[in-house]
């Protein structure tokens, strides 16, 4: 895998807007690297493990569950809507895709596809056991 410094660049003092992903997940890292190469978004992208999450208003549990986009106002979008926002900051050709993904019914479809991929990321190319999303404990466990 090629080293893509863009997807690993971390702001000295994390501020919004920023996109956070699971840096421990090989599938997530490969996906972010590809998206960075294609889209060239105009926001910092960082593994959530490498930033102080508290000032951004998010928890490690949420960041482990889905990719997060925190905008300049502090609003947090997760999953497919995080990607929709990211696309809107990229090359002009990608911006309409980001707008489309924010509108029903594409929004609903994107959310379903995102959740399907996220829930199975450990089974996808580049995925490992570290990519599995932690499940909440069951009451009888």
Task: Write out pLDDT tens, residues 75-106.
Answer: 999 999 999 999 999 999 999 999 999 999 99
> Can you give the residue range of the structural domain that contains 22?
15-126
19-45 pLDDT per residue, tens: 999 998 888 899 999 999 999 999 999
Distance CA 69, CA 63 (A): 10
Q: Is residue 135 part of a domain?
A: no
Residue 8 included in any domain: no
Q: Tokens 């696309």: give the residue.
A: 87
Size of the chain in residues: 141
Please give the tally of structural domains in the chain: 1
Q: Is residue 10 part of a domain?
A: no
Structure tokens at 114: 């995102």
Q: Using the CB atoms, write b or e for 94-108: b if 16+ within 10 Å.
A: beebbeebbeeeeee
Overall pTM surpassing 0.85 (yes/no): no
């Amino acid at each position: 895998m090629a080293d893509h410094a863009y997807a690993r660049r971390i702001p000295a003092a994390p501020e919004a807007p920023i996109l956070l992903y699971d840096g421990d997940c090989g599938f997530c890292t490969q996906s972010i690297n590809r998206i960075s190469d294609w889209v060239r978004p105009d926001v910092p992208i960082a593994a959530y493990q490498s930033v102080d999450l508290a000032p951004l208003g998010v928890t490690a549990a949420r960041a482990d569950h889905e990719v997060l986009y925190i905008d300049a106002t502090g609003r947090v979008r997760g999953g497919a809507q995080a990607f929709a926002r990211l696309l809107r900051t990229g090359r002009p050709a990608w911006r309409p895709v980001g707008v489309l993904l924010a509108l029903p019914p594409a929004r609903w479809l994107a959310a379903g596809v995102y959740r399907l991929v996220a829930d199975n990321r450990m089974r996808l190319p580049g995925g490992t056991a570290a990519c599995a999303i932690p499940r909440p404990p069951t009451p009888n466990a």
